[in-house]
Chain A
Amino acid sequence: MSDVLTVRNLTVRYPNAPRPSVQGVSFTVPARGSVALVGESGSGKSTTALAVTRLLDPAVEVTADEVSFEGRDLLRMGKKELRALRRGGLGMVFQDPRASWNPARTIERQLLDGLRGAERAERRERLVARMRRIGLDDPERRMRDYPHHFSGGMLQRALLAGVLVHEPRLLIADEPTSALDTTVQAELLALIGQLRTEQGLSMLLISHDLGVVARMSDHVLVLYAGRIAEQGPTSTVLAQPQHPYTRDLLAAIPRLHGPRKVPLQVGRVAEARTEGCPYAGRCRFATDRCRTETPAPRRVGGTEVACHLAPLPDAKAA
């Protein structure tokens, strides 16, 4: 039992959507491991996280061969058990630090509410210790403040403290630093890294930012239009991408060094296709086969890639 989270063949379809938002996604998060889901808007990365944590509207159709947390079936779990899990082994942090807090209540009250069991004084003490650990000066006093007294970075830290006080085994973090300034982001990422090591915490990270993914994950899934385009060890996928989409995505990132013009390969925007390879409409290598036959994932080099044409020539020239 070394995997904390197992997802097999997950498919999610919103009512009246022309195609599933997530289709046939499988992955596992090993104990102490960190897996990243990366993709652009509409790739299905957040929907995957919401489906796993059962936070989607009941009208959304979720099917899977397996979605389990430490061997327990998440999809068939009762409401009560699920709530206990969210307050225990499974911690979640989302993008917008302001949206995660109730503006009318103090930080302390909101965090204490989530803590059950022990006496109030003891619960408070545990919380204060966590707050100090995440870098809040004078936590006794600052915890009595309201969310608007905190900066975005500080709110996100406090949220992390509130989640980690439950000693989760898995942290699901959906764009945890995307709303923050770059310097604040770097600090928070470093903190998450430290806390993960200290607590032996596994992580499922959802991000659009390959820079964040490079720093925070050991394994990455690149999603495009609800399907896994490529997955493998993060360093391999970033250094030797085999899927044209992964290459295009890497090439499109603004850089501090190198040529002014972004060496962009994606010439035009195209709708994701419902048949064949979803990327065929944008891919500069696409053939007739790509437009009719959906590629199955297979091992190429160090990664698993869903592309008829892999290995691509000159894999380093991305």
Chain B
Amino acid sequence: MTPLLELRDVHKTFQGRGRTVRASRGVSLKVMPGEVVGLVGESGSGKSTVANMALGLLAPDSGEVLVHGERLIGASRKREKELRARVQAVFQEPLLALDSRRTIGWSIAEPLRIHGRGTRAEQEARVAELLTAVGLDPAFAERLPSQMSGGQLQRVNIARAIALDPELLVCDEPVSALDVSVQAQIINLFLEVQERLGIGMLFISHDLAVVRHLVDRIVVMYAGRVVEEGPTDELCANPHHPYTRALLAASLEPDADEAGVGVRTATTDATAAEGVPQEGCPFLPRCPLAEPACSEMPVVALAPTGPGRASACRRSGVLVEAGASTSNHD
């Protein structure tokens, strides 16, 4: 089966005022039809750069971004338009994604007009159908974005994103700007939409707990590299990379015991990116499991650590074993 989306060894470097940010350093990932993949990492990890390359909004320096096995950038105009219709996006700020002077209905119908789907009347009917599908009153089509709440606007953005029946949704922090109760509604809406349309999704977030609710598989990025991937439940139960373990430990739940953080304070970093060594393991300065030998070797490549699982760490074995022994106790 051809993946809906495939990134092959993608590199992207940004140059600016004496500073070089290597946002993507050989990222490879796949989203299969109907699959929901979570891309997790902290600010500066390169996750949004990957999202923008997946959407064809940014060209990689090297490597390939394939939609249905075809390159988006460099395809003929006609073909590019066809491919773009299959991949749609939802972003973090619901208001910024919409034209403030146009009605909600106009915005939702915009992709239909661009791709010439249906007559005017058919488009109007489709807008009503889409609004209902995302839990809004079809009468909202007449409203302006300023007359709606953040949660309602994010529903509108989802309606617009599914207007063309895409095969893949790329969602970059779509619930991060929302209040907890609204966030929960939108998470459930994504689950519902996914179930009903069987759509594939690449869901990007800094919040592992949010991603956990939505995705089948999680890819963890750190400093421009994929450091771990695996099926959601297994990865959350037994992380195989020290960074994933730190992320899980740092996640605060109101009823959790005061768990240890497990990250050494990175007090020497000037900025997140500068704190990362240019060569060798990027997580080394913060890693609680680091040994002298870790600093003497080049970056560890992502390697299988179990069924469907992979980690890029010299010491993965310790965590794999720790995980195996805890599950034996259950």
Q: Kindly supply a per-residue 1/0 record for chain A positions 240-284, scoring 1 wherever the CB is within 8 Å of any chain B CB and 0 otherwise.
A: 000000001111111111001110101001000000000000000
8 pairs of A and B residues whose beta carbons are closest in the complex: A211-B252, A252-B184, A181-B42, A40-B179, A186-B250, A254-B209, A262-B184, A210-B254
The A-B contact count (CB < 8 A) is 133
Q: Find out whether the CB atom of A262 lies under 8 angstroms from the CB atom of B247.
A: no
| In-complex Cβ contact of A186 among B152, B185, B249 (8 A) | B249
CA separation between A209 and B269, bound complex, in Å? 27
B residues near A298, Cβ cutoff 8 Å: none
Q: In this complex, what residue of B is CB-closest to A267? A: B185
Q: Kindly supply a per-residue 1/0 record for chain A positions 195-214, scoring 1 wherever the CB is within 8 Å of any chain B CB and 0 otherwise.
A: 00000000000001111111
Which B positions have Cβ atoms within 8 angstroms of A?
Answer: 42-43, 149, 151-152, 179-185, 187-188, 191, 206-210, 212-214, 236, 246-256, 258, 261, 263, 265, 267-272, 275
Given contacts A154-B269, A239-B255, A261-B188, contact A208 B261 (CB under 8 A): no
B residues near A293, Cβ cutoff 8 Å: none
CA separation between A262 and B187, bound complex, in Å? 7
Q: In this complex, what residue of B is CB-closest to A260? A: B213
B residues near A112, Cβ cutoff 8 Å: none
Interface residues on A, range: 35 or more
B residues near A182, Cβ cutoff 8 Å: 42, 206-208, 247, 250-252
Given contacts A181-B43, A182-B42, A182-B250, contact A254 B184 (CB under 8 A): yes
Q: Find out whether the CB atom of B151 lies under 8 angstroms from the CB atom of A269.
A: yes
B residues near A256, Cβ cutoff 8 Å: 208-209, 212, 236, 248, 251, 253
Q: Find out whether the CB atom of B250 lies under 8 angstroms from the CB atom of A261.
A: no
CA separation between A254 and B271, bound complex, in Å? 29
Q: Find out whether the CB atom of A255 lies under 8 angstroms from the CB atom of B181.
A: no
A residues near B254, Cβ cutoff 8 Å: 210-211, 213-214, 238, 250, 253
| In-complex Cβ contact of B207 among A41, A252, A254, A260 (8 A) | A254
CA separation between A185 and B182, bound complex, in Å? 23
Return A61 CB to nearest CB of chain B, in Å: 26
Q: Find out whether the CB atom of A254 lies under 8 angstroms from the CB atom of B181.
A: no
Question: A120 at the A/B interface (Cβ < 8 Å)?
Answer: no
8 Å CB contacts to B: which residues of A176-190? Answer: 181-187, 189-190
Interface contacts beyond A137-B268, A183-B263, A212-B252: sample of 19 additional A-B pairs, CB < 8 Å, sorted by A: A136-B267, A137-B267, A150-B270, A150-B271, A151-B275, A183-B42, A183-B246, A186-B252, A208-B180, A211-B253, A214-B255, A215-B258, A254-B187, A254-B212, A256-B212, A256-B236, A262-B187, A264-B188, A266-B181
Question: A149 at the A/B interface (Cβ < 8 Å)?
Answer: yes
Return A140 CB to nearest CB of chain B, in Å: 14
